[in-house]
Amino acid sequence: MVRVVSLPGDPGLGPELARHLGAAHSTFFSKRFPDGEVYLRLVERVSGDRVLLVQSMYPSQNDRVVESLLALELLERYGNEVALIAPYLAYSRQDKEFLPGESVSLRSLLKALSSMGLSALVTVDAHNPAAVGEFLGSGRYLNVVPVEVFAEALRSYLARGVTVVAPDQGASERARALAEELGCNYVVVRKSRDKVTGEVTHSLEPLEGLRGVAVVFDDIVSTGGTVASIASFLTARGVEVALAVSHALFVGNALEKLTKSGVREVYSIPTVPVRVPGVRYLELAPHLAKLLREEGIV
């Protein structure tokens, strides 16, 4: 039978998914040993099932990764077929060796996860889905970018004229898909990063002449710096700015930075357990359940 099993990083998707799929739902008991090591125990016996293991890997990425590895080994040992649903996949942005000698954390993580015998990996709006697929090797991989969910919430802006903005070249496919769903245009900002200092520069010329509402669509907002610099440029030119972001990490004073830069509304989906005040969270579980069925993962 199909069973959804939640790990401690589940942002609340597990029970919702189980409800939409008509599946059983189980959890893990988890604690830390006095020295900080992770202890996990299944609350009920789970064996011989098709398991959807739900774990978001933010915050406390390192603990979340270790929990995932322990749970995968355990569930496999108990004769289950396990698909890992990682709505937020940690360590995704270091997807290549930018400087010689750097670790490629995405590759290391996926090698470790896939060595546990996954039947499939499902991510939500992974930073670089092509790299995830490549590093996963022969394993089944599905990346869900819920543009329909965002488009539904953003449709009310259309009367004022909407342009979707990709904050960098890597975000252009996501922006194109949202623009197509909304039936509007999109533009791509050019971003370059100094490989040594990490300093980021944006070429904002493609934004000149925008009118109406600009919807910046990004995978992750961490410090808010990327979106704030784009929003300041646009609001200074009288363009209203809304933000659609899959993973609202909002580290430190990110929300304040975005508000000061003129971002009026923030739309996100519950891929991490953090809930940022003022952010409008859209429903992900029904969309995910539908896709899992269509793709034959359940």
C-beta of 12 vs 170, nearer to ligand R5P: 170
- Distance (Å, rounded) from C-alpha 261 to C-alpha 221? 14
HSE of 203 in the Cβ direction (CA atoms, 13 Å)?
9
Q: What is residue 142's three-state secondary structure? A: strand
C-beta of 115 vs 253, nearer to ligand R5P: 253
The interface with ligand R5P within residues 202-241 (CB under 6 A) comprises 218-226
Of 96, 191, 260, 290, catalytic? 191
* Number of residues this chain uses to bind ligand R5P (CB under 6 A): 15
Binding string, residues 17-46; x marks residues near ligand R5P by CB under 6 A:
------------------------------
Residue of 219, 54, 56 lying closest to 125 (CA atoms): 219
The interface with ligand R5P within residues 146-175 (CB under 6 A) comprises 167-168, 170-171
The interface with ligand R5P within residues 112-151 (CB under 6 A) comprises 127
Report the DSSP pairing between strands 190-193 and 200-203. Answer: antiparallel
The interface with ligand R5P within residues 85-104 (CB under 6 A) comprises 93
C-beta of 67 vs 219, nearer to ligand R5P: 219
Query: Least distance to ligand R5P from the beta carbon of 145, Å?
Result: 13
Is 96 one of the catalytic residues?
no
C-beta of 64 vs 247, nearer to ligand R5P: 247
Query: Least distance to ligand R5P from the beta carbon of 268, Å?
Result: 13
Query: Torsions phi, psi of 74, nearest 5?
Result: -65, -50
HSE of 224 in the Cβ direction (CA atoms, 13 Å)?
21
Query: Least distance to ligand R5P from the beta carbon of 22, Å?
Result: 36
- Distance (Å, rounded) from C-alpha 107 to C-alpha 91? 9
Q: Annotate 19-77 with DSSP letters as a single string.
A: HHHT-EEEEEEEEE-TTS-EEEEESS---S-EEEEE----SSHHHHHHHHHHHHHHHHH
Query: Least distance to ligand R5P from the beta carbon of 57, Å?
Result: 15
H helix intervals, 115-253: 129-136, 147-154, 172-182, 225-235
Query: Least distance to ligand R5P from the beta carbon of 85, Å?
Result: 21
C-beta of 170 vs 212, nearer to ligand R5P: 170
Q: Is the dihedral of CA 208, 168, 87, 183 positive or negative?
A: positive
Show which residues are catalytic: 191
Chain contacts with ligand R5P (rule: CB under 6 A): 93, 127, 167-168, 170-171, 218-226
